[in-house]
Amino acid sequence: MSDILKLTAVEARKALDSKAISATELTNAYIGAMDETRGLNAYVAETQSKALEMAAASDKRLAEGKAGPLEGIPVGVKDLFCTKGVETTACSNILKGFTPTYESFVTNQLWDAGGVMLGKINCDEFAMGSANETSAFGPAINPWSSEDGPDLAAGGSSGGSAASVSSGSSLIATGTDTGGSIRQPAALCGIVGMKPTYGRCSRWGIVAFASSLDQAGPFTRDVADSALMLEAMAGHDKMDSTSADVAMPDLQAAMQAGVKGLKIGIPSEYVMDGMDPAILKLWEQGQSWLKDAGAELVEISLPHTKYALPCYYIIAPAEASSNLARYDGVRYGSRVDEGGSLDEMYAATRSAGFGDEVKRRIMIGTYALSAGYYDAYYLKAQQVRQLIKTDFDNAFTQVDAILTPATPSAAFELGVKQDDPVTMYLNDVFTVPANLAGIPGISVPAGLSEAGLPLGLQVLAGSFREDRIYQVAKTLEEAAAFQLNPVRAAGGLR
């Protein structure tokens, strides 16, 4: 089959069921694409032989009629997920050489559903970044970068996942989203990225960044694949005290339901200085599409929106400063021992092992929690977080879903925002509020910038109302008819 890379996961499943293709054939096509797109630096560890073994097992199950919902589907795994027997580094030097003896809950769910693991995928170090530039393996590159132009950011932190799905080196990929790390790179790479409700996907076995915000989710090429992958990833896990025991709504039905009669909130606060005019235009376009499909647009206010980012930049680093204390060179990972004391070993190990952005956030977090500053920073941030959540609670008494832009700009050139951390942080301005409130959000590719780069729209819904998300996302996708054709994608996808 010549267009094998063009199949969506849903289509590939049908082709596998009808024996039009085999899982091994599909996996080989992706191994070829991985090879072809290696320049994008999407993968940090390729596990081709494991992939082929898993594909062979999938073929056997397909033949026996025991196929799972993701049977034979090639999956890329963000390097934040612990994978049994496969090095897991969170793209940090401090975890170089760490090979987990266990498999994360979410990836385990994917393999149980029949998924085939292609390898581990690049991301920002400990998921801290918005351009995949803090990775110890170097940045992943946006496949939409022109052939001869500068390399563009794939976004972050899950930049490798977005670059990979968008360039055809994986069919679907996992991501984690703490402040927009799924939705922002998905938007920048022209694919669908979904952050589920906090508690929907177990955090067990995922290297923690900020525990109260981290949530795993799918990267896919379209909305239907997103629903398919999310259904496989999600589930209650007794090993994660924050995992929710709440049934997933029927997402397949939701995608059929349309938006007729739905009330869609348009928050007046989601306009900021220096925003790409193309994004404002796309947002208005999105509103028209939904209105045309029968939805009612409601202007709403989320008054504390502008405080979400500073609030996030207290809470996330504070939690991270504590979560990353375990990387001390004692039980796993790298150690730098210059023959000094234990404390000197800690400091040498951590200074050599962590990159600048991670150290910066550990320092901010340590400071925010330290004696005399806790109330002014951490407690204050938690109070503001309450107000942000209340804004959404109030909004969802009036509307069924909220439509916003996904990012303030299209993909930017790598390296340009590195000088000022705050400028980089502003990338997450539209995505961070959902993490603080714990609500689900999706980024759907909906148009192009003047430079021909993808732009996304974000749909938010109330907690555990992923059905609303997929209702709206499907409608937007149909109306936008976005074409995924990045210049630097694998040949088979173009």
Partner 1 sequence: MSVDKSTVKKIAKLARIAVSDEETDTIASELNHILNWIEELNEVDTDGVAPLASVTGHNLPLRQDAVTDGDKVDQILANAPEQASGFFVVPKVVE
Partner 2 sequence: MSTQDMTDNTNLVQGETGLWEVVIGMEVHAQVLSEAKLFSGSSTRFGAEPNQNVSLVDAAMPGMLPVINAECVRQAVKTGLGLKAEINLTSVFDRKNYFYADLPQGYQISQFKQPIVGEGSITISLKDGSTHEIGIERLHLEQDAGKSMHDQHPSKSYIDLNRSGVALMEIVSRPDLRSAEQAGAYIKKLRSILRYLGTCDGNMEEGSLRADVNVSVRRPGEELGTRTETKNLNSVRFITQAINYEVQRQIEIIEEGGTIDQETRLFDTSTGTTRTMRGKEDAHDYRYFPDPDLLPLVLSEEVVSEIEAALPELPDEIRARMTGEYGLSDYDAAVLTEEKETAAFYEAASAGRDRKLTANWMSVELFGALNKASLDLDSSPISPDQLGALVDLISDGTISGRIAKDVFADMFETGKAAADIIEEKGLKQVSDSGAIETLIDSVMQANEDKVAEYRGGKDKLFGFFVGQVMKQSGGQANPAMVNQILRQKLDG
Task: Name the token pair of 148.
Answer: 């001869």
129 in contact with partner 2 (CB under 8 A): no
The CA distance from 254 to 260, in Å, is 12
- Binding to partner 2 by residue 366, rule CB under 8 A? yes
d(CA 90, CA 126): 5
Residues in contact with partner 2, total (CB under 8 A)? 45
Minimum Å distance from CB 371 to partner 1? 10
Residue 348 interacting partner from partner 2, partner 1, none (CB closer than 5 to 8 Å by kind): partner 1
Q: Is 319 in the site for partner 2 (CB under 8 A)?
A: yes
Residue closer to partner 2, measured from CB, 371 or 481: 371
Instruction: Find how far residue 13's CA is from the centre of its chain.
Output: 23
Determine how β-strand 296-300 pairs with β-strand 263-267: parallel
Give the shortest CB-354-to-partner 1 separation in angstroms: 7
Confirm or reject binding of residue 215 to partner 2 (CB under 8 A). no
Q: Is 306 marked active-site?
A: no
Residue 132 and residue 249 in contact, taking contact as beta carbons nearer than 8 Å: no
Shortest Å, Cβ 88 to partner 1: 10
Return the number of the residue (252 or 366) whose C-beta is nearest partner 1. 366
Instruction: Using the minimum distance from each CB to partner 1, give the nearer residue, 40 or 434.
Output: 434
Q: Which residue has the tokens 């939904």?
A: 290
| Distance separating alpha carbons of residues 179 and 210, to the nearest angstrom | 10
What is the side-by-side strand order in the sheet with 116-121? 43-46, 116-121, 74-78, 172-177, 215-220, 192-195, 441-448, 454-461, 401-405, 263-267, 296-300
Instruction: Give the span between the Cα atoms of 199 and 182, in whole angstroms.
Output: 16
Stretch that binds partner 2, among 151-159, 188-196, 271-279, 322-330 (CB under 8 A): 322-330
Rounded distance between C-alpha atoms, residue 353 and residue 313, angstroms: 22
Rg value, the chain, Cα: 21
Q: Which of 181, 202, 321, 449 is catalytic?
A: 181
445 binds, among partner 2, partner 1, none (CB under 5 to 8 A by kind): none
Q: How far is the CB of 234 from partner 1 (least distance, A)?
A: 15
Own/partner long-range contacts of 368-372 (Cβ < 8 Å, ≥24 apart) = 368/314, 368/317, 368/318, 369/318, 369/321, 369/322
Give me the least distance between CB of 329 and partner 1, in Å please.
6
Pairing of strands 296-300, 454-461: unpaired
Q: How far is CA 381 from CA 208, 244, 373, 392, 427, in A?
A: 20, 24, 12, 17, 20
Write each residue from 72 to 111 as x if it is in contact with partner 2 (CB under 8 A), else as -, in one continuous string. Answer: ---------xx-----x-x----x--x-xxx-x-------
For the beta carbon of residue 85, count every other beta carbon within 10 angstroms.
12
301 vs 351 by CB, closer to partner 1: 351
Nearer to partner 1, 222 or 319 (CB): 319
Nearest residue (CB) to partner 2, 122 versus 142: 122
Cβ neighbours of residue 70 under 8 Å, at least 6 residues apart?
A: 9, 13, 110, 113, 114, 115, 172, 228, 229, 232
Alpha helices in 248-355 (DSSP H): 251-257, 277-292, 308-323, 342-353
How far is residue 68 from each of residues 12, 17, 47, 212, 228, measured CA to CA in Å?
13, 11, 21, 32, 11
Determine, following the binding rule CB under 8 A, whether residue 483 of this chain makes contact with partner 2.
no
Q: Does 370 bind partner 2 (CB under 8 A)?
A: yes
Using the minimum distance from each CB to partner 2, give the nearer residue, 268 or 370.
Answer: 370
Does residue 369 interact with partner 2 by CB under 8 A?
yes
Residue 157 annotated in active site: yes
Q: Which of the residues 22, 58, 78, 158 is marked catalytic? A: 78
Q: Which partner from the list partner 2, partner 1, none does 204 bind, CB cut-off 5 to 8 Å by kind?
A: partner 2
CB of 308 vs partner 2, minimal distance in Å = 18
Least Å distance between CB 280 and partner 2? Answer: 36
Q: Is 181 designated active site?
A: yes
**Residue ranges that bind partner 2, judged by CB under 8 A:** 81-82, 88, 90, 95, 98, 100-102, 104, 203-208, 210-212, 238-242, 318-319, 321-322, 324-326, 328, 330-332, 341-343, 346, 366, 369-371, 374, 378
Catalytic residue ranges: 78, 157, 181
